[in-house]
Amino acid sequence: MKRRNFLLAPMVLITAPTWANSIQSDEDLHTDTIVHIVNFWLKEDVNEKDKKSFVGFFEELRKIDVIKTLNYGVPAQTNPRPVVDNSFDYTLIVTFKDLKDITVYETHPIHLKAIEKYQHFWTKVMVKDTSIIK
* DSSP, residue by residue, 1-59: --HHHHHHSPP------TT------GGG--TT-EEEEEEEEE-TT--HHHHHHHHHHHH
pLDDT at 20 over 80: no
Share of the chain above pLDDT 70, in %: 78
Q: Could you say which DSSP state residue 113 is in?
A: H
Sign of the CA dihedral running 57, 88, 79, 47: negative
Cα of 80 vs its chain's centroid, Å: 23
Helix (H, G, I), strand (E, B) or coil at 120: helix
pLDDT at 1 over 70: no
Cα dist from 92 to 6, 62, 117, 125, whole Å: 41, 11, 17, 11
Alpha carbons 56 and 17: distance in angstroms, whole number: 16
28-131 architecture in CATH? 2-Layer Sandwich (3.30)
Domain residue limits, the chain = 28-131
pTM score, whole prediction: 0.78
pLDDT at 13 over 50: no
Q: What's the rounded mean pLDDT across residues 113-132?
A: 97
Q: What's the rounded mean pLDDT across residues 23-51?
A: 85
Q: Among the listed ranges 17-21, 29-33, 98-102, which one has the minimum average pLDDT value?
A: 17-21
Helix (H, G, I), strand (E, B) or coil at 63: coil
pLDDT at 121 over 80: yes
Q: Could you say which DSSP state residue 97 is in?
A: S
Q: Residue 133's pLDDT band (boundaries 50, 70, 90)?
A: confident
pLDDT at 29 over 90: no
Q: What's the rounded mean pLDDT across residues 100-109?
A: 98
Q: Could you say which DSSP state residue 112 is in?
A: H
pLDDT at 124 over 60: yes
